[in-house]
Amino acid sequence: MGGDLADVRLWTGELERLHGRFVHRFSRSEPRESALAYMQGLVAPLERKNGWTLAEQAGHSAPDRIHRLLNRIDWNADEVLDDVRDYVVEHLGDPDAVLIVDDTGFLKKGVRSAGVQRQYSGTAGRTENCQVGVFLAYAGARGRTLIDRRLYLPTYRRPPSIEHVLHWSYWRRRRQQQARVSHYKRRGHTPPETAQPSGQRPLQY
């Protein structure tokens, strides 16, 4: 979702009320605050939306808190989704509402993301290297919204080897590190890793 500044102001109060519906799913204050900041960033009028831009929108100096929320902190996304569905029924409930199922392809250049292979993509209109997400929407006279999602996992001819899994994990951490360094350089700052004394090793993930 996007919008202009007026839209963001209108959304702010309602986002906080929605956030209050599932804030109990997080055991500590940091992920509670990060969850709200993440939601506010998603509806903000940003040209690009990624960990860095959402962190800057929230006033963070780096995307670490957003990354921890999405990758490391223990919380159950399905339980949060249950809370969101209750919110949707409460505000958009309609006896004549319908459920809409549709899939969307996410084009990929590599092969290391979960579910990636050459398969038909409705987005591209042809067979491409991509992931496929399946989404469930609720639509009625009072409004419409997404209420569920799944990543389509194709059946592979053979399971990936442990070496492939470990290589993917290393590759993902390496890409994250490269993105951090690139971000600092674009803004004319010295990356934290290169600013350390030569006798110390960089931060390991």
Is 3 within 8 Å of 15 (Cβ atoms)? no
Residue range 6-64, pLDDT digits in tens: 555 667 778 888 899 999 999 899 999 999 999 988 888 888 888 899 999 999 999 99
What gap in Å lies between CA 80 and CA 92, rounded to an integer? 18
135 dihedral zone (left: phi>0; alpha: psi -120 to 50; beta)? beta
Q: How far apart are CA 174 and CA 195, in angstroms?
A: 18
154 pLDDT band, cuts 50/70/90, is confident
Q: Report the distance separating Cα 25 and Cα 80, nearest Å.
A: 7
What confidence tier does 100 reach under pLDDT thresholds 50, 70, 90?
A: very high
Contact of 175 with 108, CB cutoff 8 Å: no
Map out the domains of the chain as residue ranges: 1-75, 77-155, 158-205
Query: Is the pLDDT assigned to residue 197 strictly greater than 50?
Result: no
Q: 115-138 burial by CB neighbour count: b if 16+ within 10 A, else e?
A: bbeeeebeeeeeeebbbbeeeeeb
Q: What is the mean pLDDT of the chain?
A: 78
- pLDDT score, position 1: 43
